[in-house]
């Protein structure tokens, strides 16, 4: 979804609306500061005119002028500080709101969007691109305010001193504008490519750092280095081109400024010879010529930052423009109690329209039943979980909980009825206590300890340096995989939901601990509807019903004994597993 350049600027400005007061105060401060700055050359010119020659220096007139000059400088400095304060406040609050909006958006887009985009690229948009916007806005507001006010103010002061020289300066000005415009148009495309490539590089680095063990296991370091260098070289090329185009701005505009200064000097000298302009007037005009052309340098120089900011803003707004997940139905209700009855009627679903996955899925699960889902890899076991939790919505058909279609239940209250332990355990950077209480932040210490004991995690937690106050690093990198899984199990046990989903929940735990965990699960699953996804078929023998899936369909269902006696797909799957083990 493309965002046009003009709309990018408009949308950025809309984010500044809440801070309009700072904007107005910054403009007023800029006007006062520039007015004082422009008044200084007039005072200096007046002082010069009081120095006629040797023995003809009128100090009694110069001292009041110098005092006025001092006051002018102090006032200019004060309002320059105030303008900088206001622009900083406005910029950083605007960027703060933008970053919050993007992060909030990522929490409301469909899971499909997160799954189909490189996580490093999304992180780059939230962090790096918004930092680029911050730099661009800060430079833009600061230099544009002072630049525009300086240009207008200088023209007025120059017209007051001498309109003929002013006319010459104005006639040369379009040349400077043309140069800046030409360079800005070419540099924008390069900065846009640079932002995209930077995001690609961020995604690749994040991917490698997060899977460094696999990289080393398969000896992928050299190939990873080659691909990194290929992306980095592309980033270097577009970065060099972007900087080359943008770096042309300053010398080109300075060349035009030199022409203006030379013309003012020549015409001013002729005017002084003819007596139409005093020496102080020439000094004043030369200063104004510099001050008039300086904003063009600054504005054209800040174009680099602005182009980079607009390119980054385009990527950020692409995230904000993504469609959010289907909102809760207007008549959706908050499910506060759930018995645990689950049913699916003629459900079809596929991640890609070209590749059908779940086809005509039908199941009836009574409250408190233990359902196992088995089948070969890629048959749709995990997809069933995604559909039950409404991480994805079905293409057709209907899933019901307690007889109510889940599309008529608010997502938050629906998901609150499920407790889920996945094969891929996840912990965040925080204490052991905080991680266990992730689903119930109001839980007491006694409840947290009880959940840890039920999950057989209490003993290893007590051996940690600070016990339950031990801080685990990002994703629990400083504890073992099995310990992470125990903490994830404790988290679900603390939440005590009416429906459980266990997706290979004991895959990273040793056999002895697994037996103990299975006992804990047996106790926890009593009276609760449970869906157990398992590859090790020996772990689901006690299930009330086993759903055997293949190619997105339920091909068999029944108890472990019934399915073995049937001698069908499940029996072959079960027997082949033990044949492999032997």
Output 219 or 364, whichever has higher pLDDT: 364
pLDDT for 400:
92
Joined tokens for residue 47: 């002082």
For the chain, domains (ranges, CATH) are 5-320 (1.20.1560.10), 427-494 (no CATH)
Residue 262 has pLDDT above 50, yes or no: yes
**pLDDT band (50, 70, 90) for residue 399:** very high
User: What is the average per-residue pLDDT within 186-206?
Assistant: 77
Residue 415 has pLDDT above 80, yes or no: yes
Output 481 or 333, whichever has higher pLDDT: 333
Residue 6 has pLDDT above 60, yes or no: no
Residue 579 has pLDDT above 60, yes or no: no
Residue 1 has pLDDT above 60, yes or no: no
Output 36 or 212, whichever has higher pLDDT: 36
Number of DSSP helices (H) and strands (E) in the chain, helices first? 20, 14
Q: What is the rounded distance in angstroms from the CA atom of residue 520 to the CA atom of residue 517? A: 5
Contact 146, 301 (CB under 8 A): no
pLDDT for 118:
77
Q: Which of 464, 454, 460 is nearest to 521 (CA)?
A: 454
Q: Which of 368, 367, 413 is nearest to 390 (CA)?
A: 413
Q: Which of 136, 148, 145 is nearest to 79 (CA)?
A: 145
Contact 347, 397 (CB under 8 A): yes
**pLDDT band (50, 70, 90) for residue 279:** low
Positive/negative CA dihedral, 307, 313, 318, 319: positive
Q: pLDDT tens across 61-100, in order?
A: 777 877 888 888 899 899 889 988 888 888 888 888 888 8
Strand 404-405 with 418-421, pairing: unpaired
**pLDDT band (50, 70, 90) for residue 484:** confident
Q: pLDDT tens across 512-547, in order?
A: 767 767 777 777 777 889 888 876 665 677 788 888
**Of 215-229, 266-280, 310-324, 559-573, which range is least confident?**
266-280
The H-or-E segment that residue 555 falls in is strand 553-558
Residue 27 has pLDDT above 60, yes or no: yes
**pLDDT band (50, 70, 90) for residue 128:** confident
pLDDT for 297:
63
Q: What is the rounded distance in angstroms from the CA atom of residue 513 to the CA atom of residue 502? A: 16
pLDDT for 581:
45
Q: At a CB cut-off of 8 Å and minimum separation 6, what does 548 contact?
A: 374, 375, 554, 555, 556, 557, 563, 568, 569, 570, 573
Residue 577 has pLDDT above 60, yes or no: yes
pLDDT for 580:
45
pLDDT for 472:
84
**pLDDT band (50, 70, 90) for residue 582:** very low
């Amino acid at each position: 979804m493309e965002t046009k350049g003009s709309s990018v600027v408009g949308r950025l400005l809309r984010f500044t609306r809440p801070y309009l007061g700072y904007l107005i105060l910054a403009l007023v401060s800029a006007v006062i500061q520039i007015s004082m700055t422009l008044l200084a050359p007039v005072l200096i010119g007046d002082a010069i005119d009081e120095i006629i020659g040797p023995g003809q220096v009128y100090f009694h007139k110069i001292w009041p002028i110098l005092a006025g000059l001092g006051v002018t400088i102090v006032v200019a400095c004060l309002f320059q500080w105030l303008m900088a304060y206001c622009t900083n406040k406005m910029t950083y609050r605007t960027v703060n709101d933008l970053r919050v909006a993007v992060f909030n958006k990522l929490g409301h887009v469909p899971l499909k969007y997160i799954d189909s985009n490189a996580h490093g690229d999304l992180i780059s948009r939230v962090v790096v691109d918004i930092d680029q916007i911050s730099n661009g806005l800060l430079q833009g507001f600061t230099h544009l305010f002072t630049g525009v006010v300086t240009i207008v103010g200088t023209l007025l002061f120059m017209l007051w001193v001498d309109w003929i020289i002013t006319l010459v300066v104005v006639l040369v000005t379009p040349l400077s504008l043309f140069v800046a415009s030409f360079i800005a148009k070419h540099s924008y495309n390069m900065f846009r490519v640079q932002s995209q490539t930077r995001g690609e590089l961020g995604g690749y680095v994040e991917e490698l750092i997060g899977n460094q063990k696999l990289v080393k296991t398969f000896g992928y370091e050299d190939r990873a280095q080659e691909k990194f260098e290929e992306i980095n070289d592309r980033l270097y090329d577009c970065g060099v081109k972007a900087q080359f185009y943008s770096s042309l701005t300053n010398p080109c505009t300075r060349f035009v400024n030199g022409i203006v200064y030379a013309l003012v000097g020549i015409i001013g000298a002729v005017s002084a010879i003819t007596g139409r302009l005093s020496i102080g007037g020439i000094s004043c005009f030369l200063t104004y010529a510099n001050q008039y052309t300086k904003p063009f340098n600054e504005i054209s120089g800040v174009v680099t930052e602005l182009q980079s900011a607009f390119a980054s803003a385009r990527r950020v707004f692409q995230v904000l423009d993504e469609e959010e997940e289907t909102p809760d139905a207007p008549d959706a209700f908050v499910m506060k109690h759930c018995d645990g009855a689950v049913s699916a009627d003629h459900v079809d679903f596929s991640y890609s329209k070209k590749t059908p996955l779940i086809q005509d899925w039908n199941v009836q699960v009574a409250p408190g039943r233990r359902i196992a889902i088995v089948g070969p890899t890629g048959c749709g076991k995990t997809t069933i979980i995604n559909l039950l939790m409404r991480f994805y919505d079905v293409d057709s058909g209907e899933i019901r909980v307690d007889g109510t279609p889940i599309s008529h239940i608010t997502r938050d209250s629906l998901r609150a009825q499920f407790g889920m332990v996945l094969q891929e355990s996840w912990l965040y950077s925080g204490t052991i206590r905080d991680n266990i209480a992730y689903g119930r932040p109001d839980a007491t210490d006694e409840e947290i300890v009880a959940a840890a004991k039920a999950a057989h995690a209490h003993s290893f937690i007590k051996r940690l340096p600070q016990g339950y106050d031990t801080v685990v690093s990002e994703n629990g990198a400083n504890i073992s995989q099995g310990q992470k899984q125990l903490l994830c199990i404790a988290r679900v046990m603390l939440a005590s939901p009416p429906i459980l989903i266990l997706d290979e929940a004991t895959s990273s735990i040793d056999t002895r601990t697994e037996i103990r965990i299975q006992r804990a699960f047996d106790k926890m699953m009593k009276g609760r509807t449970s869906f157990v996804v398992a590859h090790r078929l020996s772990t689901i023998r006690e299930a009330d019903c086993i759903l055997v899936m293949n190619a997105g369909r339920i091909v068999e269902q029944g108890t472990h004994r019934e399915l073995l006696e049937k001698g069908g797909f499940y029996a072959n799957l079960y027997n082949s597993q033990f044949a492999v083990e032997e």
